[in-house]
Amino acid sequence: MTTATITGLDLAADGVFLVRATCDRCGRTVLHGAGPDADALILGHRVAHCGCGGYELADPDGIVPVRLRVIRQEQAEKARRRAEARAQRAARAAG
Ligand SMILES: [Zn+2]
């Protein structure tokens, strides 16, 4: 069975997770959507984007859990900064 080894995971601006992988047959980099739910990422078998027919998205290096942790931290940090900016605006408005 052909596999594509996951090399990256990002959260797109529209809230969908994108998996970057390398096709283990031809070596091309491919990108697949993995859905919007961090707790239920859609991985597994895919129609190949590189012309190799199909492959299984595989994560032997544990990229996905590491990236999810980083992305969650980034999201929490963004939310914190947004809340801070909101509080400052409210304080100015009340000032
Ligand atoms: Zn391929």
- pLDDT (tens digit per residue) in 29-56: 999 999 999 999 999 999 999 999 999 9
Ligand 1 centroid to Cα of residue 25, in Å, is 5
Separation CA 93–CA 38 (nearest Å): 37
Unique residue bearing structure tokens 């012309």: 51
- Rounded to the nearest whole angstrom, what is the distance from the C-alpha of residue 6 to the centroid of ligand 1? 13
pLDDT averaged over the chain? 96
Exposed e or buried b for every residue in 11-39, given b needs 16+ CB within 10 A?
beeeeebebbbbbeeeeeebebebeeeee
CA distance 62 to 8: 10
**Can you give the pLDDT of all 95 residues of the chain as single tens digits?**
899 999 999 999 999 999 999 999 999 999 999 999 999 999 999 999 999 999 999 999 999 999 999 999 999 999 999 999 999 999 999 98
Expressed in angstroms and rounded, the spacing between residue 30 Cα and the centre of ligand 1 is 8
Round to whole Å and give the CA distance between 4 and 28.
9
How high is the pLDDT of residue 1?
Answer: 81
Residue 19 identity (one-letter amino acid): V
Look at residue 95 in the predicted model and tell me its pLDDT: 80
